[in-house]
Amino acid sequence: MDFGFCGINYKSAGLDIRDIVNFTDSRKMEMFHRLEKEGILQCMILSTCNRSEVYYFYENPRHPEIIRAVYQEMFLQVDLKPYFNHMEREAAIKYLFRVTAGMESQILGEDQILGQVKEAFEFSKAMGYSRKELNGVVRNAVACAKKIKTELKISEFPLSVSYAGIRQLEREYGISGKRVLIIGSGQTAALALRYVRDYGAEKIIVCNRTSSHAKALKAEFPEIDIKDFENRYEVMKECEIVISATASPHLVIRKEKCTIRKEMYFLDLAAPRDIDVSLINVTGCHLMNLDMLEEIVQKNRKERENLIIQGGEIIQESVLQTINWLLTTRVDETIESLQMKCREIAEDSFGYINRKIDLSEREKKIIKRTLEAGFRRLLREPIEELKKLETEEEQDWYRDTLARLFQI
């Protein structure tokens, strides 16, 4: 039994293709059923905005080709041959580990994929298409990703300029318990809003020009307050942090209109700039803009790349452990058959002794336990040697030999 994967991802297929190749739960079930008819009983489908990939165990050398054919039949409106990726055995296992750890993501080391892999795995298990082998491989991949996340803390070096700015605010000033003004209501402003909320801002006020955008933000974040854009300078007076992310071609925060009576932090996420740079010269004012943040992001990118190399070493070790575990599972059936054979012989021997000799209950227990222990001892070393075999060829030879010798 071998491990493989096939599918498409953002590296091989553009968004126009990935939009078509999307596995809903019902499509996953249909794929599972089709593969089951072909003798493929263990598989997991990971379908996100960046990838739609099938991970599976197979026994027939033709199965990988069959899986690709079934996959193509699921999406006849597009020829997938130019976009397909596929691997088998160790390369496929290593790829799953890298995917789960975020090392194959558009944003290196991102955390979201770990949850997506766990969801795909739980769905496969719930539908009955994950057994001992797939369970073991996926669980090891998840454990490895968690180890990398815990030990290397890759996500602490953000590559998003918006998140880098919020993280820097948190480090220098602290966001928890602070009152925050966000100017703008586009995607960047919404991201900043989400981040400061997660960091525990006491109050979040949004000022923007478009009421429909403001209502959409209010629907998603009901706890925020919405104020008119024209009142932004008044609102600033009650806040400690001001974040601006508009598409305005002009400054939206000018120094001469600001009343600064306490220490304040300004984060400018707009290009061109929203916030007057000369505020830096005002006592108690601190300002970060995209030029300053870009240096942080570049430094973080280099740090992440170094950590990714270390993560690759952790993955390689975990992959080898997983492969060794899979090798031992190939002889589990032989070991169980040997143990069953010995239990049968022990039962037969005990039955013969029991019929020939009048034994007390205590004597029966002693003899039975002695026979079972003796046969377990007889098997201990052969079983240990079986588990040490390093190649499938050796395992196959010993399994066949034991089957002939012991008639199992």
pLDDT in tens, 163-206: 778 888 888 889 999 999 999 878 888 888 888 898 899 999 99
CB-CB contact of 177 with 362 (8 Å): no
> Looking at 49, 144, 285, 342, which residue is catalytic?
49
Residue pointed to by tokens 């803009």: 289
Please give the pLDDT value at position 52.
94
Task: For Cα atoms 191, 242, 263, give the angle at the middle one, nearest 5 degrees.
Answer: 140
Q: Which residues pair with 286 in a beta bridge?
A: 265
Check residues 327 and 85 and name the one with the higher pLDDT. 85
The whole-number pLDDT of residue 37 equals: 92
> Hunting for tokens 């942080």 — which residue is that?
296
Average pLDDT, the chain: 85
What pLDDT does 36 receive? Answer: 93
pTM (2 decimals)?
Answer: 0.62
In which band, very low, low, confident or very high, does the pLDDT at 132 lie, cut at 50, 70 and 90?
Answer: confident
Lowest-pLDDT range, 5-9, 93-97, 351-355? 351-355
How high is the pLDDT of residue 401?
A: 67
332 vs 61, 82, 353, CA distance in Å? 22, 40, 31
The pLDDT assigned to 146 comes to 92
331: pLDDT strictly greater than 60:
no
Name the amino acid, one letter, at 302: K
CA distance 80 to 16: 12
Q: Where are the beta strands (DSSP E) in 111-239?
A: 179-183, 203-208, 225-228
Pairwise pLDDT comparison (372 vs 277), residue with the higher score: 277
Distance, first Cα to last Cα, the chain: 20
Residue 149: band (very low, low, confident or very high) from pLDDT cuts 50, 70, 90: confident
49 is catalytic: yes
Residues 6+ apart with CB under 8 A from 15: none
CB atoms within 10 A of CB 48: 20
Of residues 148 and 106, more confidence is placed in: 148
Q: What is the mean pLDDT of the segment spanning 247-255?
A: 89
How confident is residue 159, by pLDDT bands cut at 50, 70 and 90? low
Using the structure block, give the residue that is written with the tokens 């740079």. 277
Which residue in 90, 89, 100 sits closest to 53, CA to CA? 100
Query: Both tokens of residue 335?
Result: 């070991």
| Angle at alpha carbon of residue 54, lines to 48 and 59, rounded to 5° | 170
